[in-house]
Amino acid sequence: MSNSKRVLGLALAVLSANATAELPHNSILSRYGMTPDELPKPAVIDTQAPVEEKSRFHIEPEQPWATIRIGDGKRPEVTGNISIDNSVQQEYDRCQKLRAEMLKRGDRYVVCDTSVPGMP
């Protein structure tokens, strides 16, 4: 740092010390001969509850974009073809046995109806 910057910094420090020494140490109120009790009281402000405005729009809760159905034990539909009906019934019975076994073990849940999940 150069000598001129040091001298300037020292001069500023001395001037600021003198300025702070001249400031009074008591309250500004005592300078003017007042006490805090003589100050005016703040104005009382009436607070009112906000008025609830009626909405122009009818807002409903958000609906899910997909609904998931878990098999509720519906029997398979009858098509009229004995071979198809028998094979679908056997598959349904096998699935019900597997489902009961998995529920007993606490494994994943198996859906036994032929519906597509998410479709009503």
Q: Where does the pLDDT of residue 23 fall: very low under 50, low under 70, confident under 90, or very high at 90 and above?
A: low
Output the average pLDDT for the chain.
76
Q: What angle do CA 91, 92, 94 make, to 5 degrees?
A: 65
Residue predicted with more confidence, 78 or 112: 78
Q: Where does the pLDDT of residue 120 fall: very low under 50, low under 70, confident under 90, or very high at 90 and above?
A: very low
Q: What angle do CA 73, 77, 81 make, to 5 degrees?
A: 140
Measured from the Cβ of residue 106, the count of other Cβ atoms closer than 10 Å reads 6
- Look up residue 21 and give its two tokens: 């020494």
- In this prediction the pTM is 0.35
26 pLDDT more than 80: no
Distance CA 33, CA 66 (A): 77
Measured from the Cβ of residue 112, the count of other Cβ atoms closer than 10 Å reads 20
Q: What percent of the chain clears pLDDT 90, i.e. is strictly above it?
A: 1
pLDDT at 24: 60
Which residues have C-beta within 8 Å of that of residue 68, sequence separation ≥ 6? 117, 118
Q: What percent of the chain clears pLDDT 70, i.e. is strictly above it?
A: 75
pLDDT at 72: 54
